[in-house]
Amino acid sequence: MEINETSIMEGGPNPCIALDDQFRYNYQLVERLQESLSPNEQNKIQTWCEKLLTMDQNVNQMELRCEYMWFIFIMLQAGGVRDPFMQLPPIELPPLTQFLPWQVYDEVLLSMEPRMNLEAKGENQT
């Protein structure tokens, strides 16, 4: 079932609250992680965050900004800023899968794999 503004007005679930909570949680994590970046990288990430903060006019924008913020969080956790996030954000953001080169997506996710394996081992030992 697709959720849109009409279903919200008709008393259906309001995904905006959950999307905003998810975005703000990841935004807080990104703010902490960017403290370890170079000043230039901090500036770029802050510019991206400011852009994403403005994208709250409808559910589609909120979903899109969550995807971008999630990826920025994962990218910083994986060790730093990569293109295309070293550039200024475009005026209109396309879906992340159209914007992000697949090689960058793969590199970031693969670099997170050892960390996730260690976390999983730690959970199994408790």
Q: What is the domain extent for residue 66?
A: 12-125
Listed in sequence order, the DSSP H helices in 35-101 are 39-53, 59-77, 96-99
Cα distance between the two ends of the chain = 38
Alpha-carbon torsion angle 113, 94, 36, 47, nearest 10: -170
| Residue 66 resides in a domain | yes
In a domain, 5, yes or no: no
Residue 58 CB neighbour total at 10 angstroms? 12
Number of domains in the chain: 1
Any domain includes 108: yes
Encode pLDDT of 37-69 as tens digits. 999 999 999 999 999 999 999 999 999 999 999
* pTM summary value: 0.79
| Residue 59 belongs to some domain of the structure | yes
pLDDT in tens, 103-122: 888 888 888 776 555 555 55
- Whether 2 is covered by a domain: the verdict is no
